[in-house]
Structure 1
Amino acid sequence: MVSKTEETQLNRLENQVDNGGGGAWEYLCLVRKLKVRRSEKVLKYGLSILNDPKKRSALGPEEWTLYEQLAIAAMDCQCLDVAKDCIKVLHKKFPESKRVGRLDCMLLEAKGSWAEAEKAYSSLLEDNPLDQVIHKRRVAMAKAQGNISVAIEWLNKYLEIFMADHDAWRELADIYLSLQMYKQAAFCYEELLLSHPTVPLYHLTYADVSVY
């Protein structure tokens, strides 16, 4: 979760870049660090750097990080040609990379090729069953299709492996609450309370759902 101070810092830097004060790369780094999605800005600032040979070469190895960040932002914005070009560059640099392979799957998602994306994700999971990103992408894909029962199934399977992921427990609890499955939601909050007993929100929500 992004703190108020971090959000203020990000907004200040964004305004600075928008007003021509520089700092585009610093902004992109902060977006990655805070794990927030400001895809339109990332797309705009990222392209401004990559399209400038001098700025791009100054990045050194971080150039490839930017290509990945830009590919994801482009998919969010449905600029699929840009995403495809970024992924192509990354494949050329890292031909055997599973990480780049995940981007291929995400591009299939962005195109709405759900069956192909699922097949590709399953193939990657065969090589690395502990890839958290792929597990979460499958959940997101099921939710995007409105297939909530499958999303629940994937989340439960994910949590069998990664029981300490409190974000996933909260996500599962929210789904159960949206379906008025209070007993199941209460179980999720019990798990959250075991690992985070000092978070007041978890106690309050657990008390609310436990009465049903």
Structure 2
Amino acid sequence: MGPEEDLPTLISQKDHLNVLRYVRAHQLREPNLVVNHGKILLQSKSLGDAERLASLEQICIAACDIGDLDLAESCLDSIVNPTSNNKSLIVTKQSSRYRKLLALCLEAAGNYESAGAVYDILLQDNPSNAYAAKRKYCILAAQPDLAAWNQMAEMCLSVSDFKGAAYCYEELVLGCPLDSNIHTKLGEVYCTAGGVENAKLARKHLAQAVQLDPNNLRAWYGLVAAAEGYLEEVEKISKNKREAEDEGVEVAKELIKFGGEKLVGIYKGTKLAKVVNAVLKESSESL
């Protein structure tokens, strides 16, 4: 394939091998094109072993993309049962190369549970496998029920995607608006994300959490932490913008005082009372 040859030219020349090569090299998403030219290409007896393997993988992915499960499974079977005796090109069912394709086929068939299990195996073998993590994220996104949103949020947090986690918890809040724990988690995510606006959102949801459940200790601690975080973020912005936050600053100080008094009352008479008092005293002195 010469550098001057573009995809339309290759297609018109019926150069099936180089059509697939071009699509791979330019990372194009042309599943129908790949399937149409790939089917013909695989019939060629002159196709080399390495090129056949690469083409089978490419066609398998494209077939999953267009929902041709029979073709995808046929390619998958040919990959682990090659006609060649070249040991360097043998793909076993235990290899990550095979498992990635298997999971895609399972996804295409709507078998998300099994696909997720395969991605879990890939992540156990290599926790930094970004591909497996991304595909598992996509599986959860395809199942927009409450359990899936929660799992997706946890996955986002595992890779420090606070924006994504906040989105997931917001969806959970819509489904369970009276769940104090969900408001707590959402508030914590916003608090961790940082920034004045996120600090305000953190304060809002943590305040909602303690209103829904006055005994939610995690939410009370979070509320105090969010208010302190807000004050710290305000100090970072310009003087003009800081003046616009005067009312918010007063609210934050009151929340720290109110939350502190609540926590002192909860721990009064317990072994942790002195520790809690010392921590909250330090917070109030910094105001």
Provide the residue aligned with 2:127 in structure 1.
129
**In structure 2, distance between residues paired with 1:14 and 1:97:** 33
Provide the residue aligned with 1:155 in structure 2.
156
Q: 1:74 and 2:63 equivalent?
A: yes
Q: 1:87 and 2:79 equivalent?
A: no
- Which letter does structure 2 place at the counterpart of 1:35? Q
CA deviation vs aligned residue, 1:135-154 (integer Å, no higher than 9, x gap): 11101111122344433432
Aligned length: 165
- Which letter does structure 2 place at the counterpart of 1:91? V
State which of 13, 16, 26 in structure 1 corresponds to 2:9: 16
**In structure 1, distance between residues paired with 2:26 and 2:153:** 27
Do 2:141 and 2:152's aligned partners in 1 also have CA atoms closer than 8 Å? yes
- 1:24 is displaced (CA, Å) by 2.9
Relative to 1, partners in 2 of residues 1:13 and 1:125: Cα closer, same or farther, differing over 3 Å?
same
State which of 35, 48, 53 in structure 1 corresponds to 2:40: 48
- 1:49 is displaced (CA, Å) by 0.6
Query: Matched residues, percent identical?
Result: 24
Do 2:91 and 2:97's aligned partners in 1 also have CA atoms closer than 8 Å? no
**Pair member with larger Rg:** 2
Alignment partner of 2:114: what SS?
helix
Q: What root-mean-square deviation, in Å, do the aligned CA atoms of Structure 1 and Structure 2 show? A: 3.6
- 1:64 is displaced (CA, Å) by 0.8
Q: Which runs of 5+ in 1 are unaligned?
A: 1-8, 161-168, 189-212
Q: Which runs of 5+ in 2 are unaligned?
A: 82-89, 172-185, 195-287
**In structure 2, distance between residues paired with 1:28 and 1:155:** 34
Structure 1, 139-148 or 72-81: larger mean CA deviation: 139-148
CA deviation vs aligned residue, 1:157-189 (integer Å, no higher than 9, x gap): 2x34xxxxxxxx6x949x67x97x9x96xx59x
Do 1:13 and 1:27's aligned partners in 2 also have CA atoms closer than 8 Å? no
**In structure 2, distance between residues paired with 1:154 and 1:29:** 34
Do 1:40 and 1:73's aligned partners in 2 also have CA atoms closer than 8 Å? yes
**In structure 2, distance between residues paired with 1:148 and 1:51:** 45
- 1:155 is displaced (CA, Å) by 3.2
Relative to 1, partners in 2 of residues 1:30 and 1:116: Cα closer, same or farther, differing over 3 Å?
same
Normalising by structure 1, what TM-score? 0.64
Relative to 1, partners in 2 of residues 1:51 and 1:148: Cα closer, same or farther, differing over 3 Å?
farther
* Aligned residue runs from structure 1 range 136-175, under 5 A: 136-146=134-144, 147-157=148-158, 159-160=159-160, 172=164
- Which letter does structure 2 place at the counterpart of 1:21? Q
Do 1:91 and 1:97's aligned partners in 2 also have CA atoms closer than 8 Å? no
**In structure 2, distance between residues paired with 1:66 and 1:24:** 10
Provide the residue aligned with 2:54 in structure 1.
65
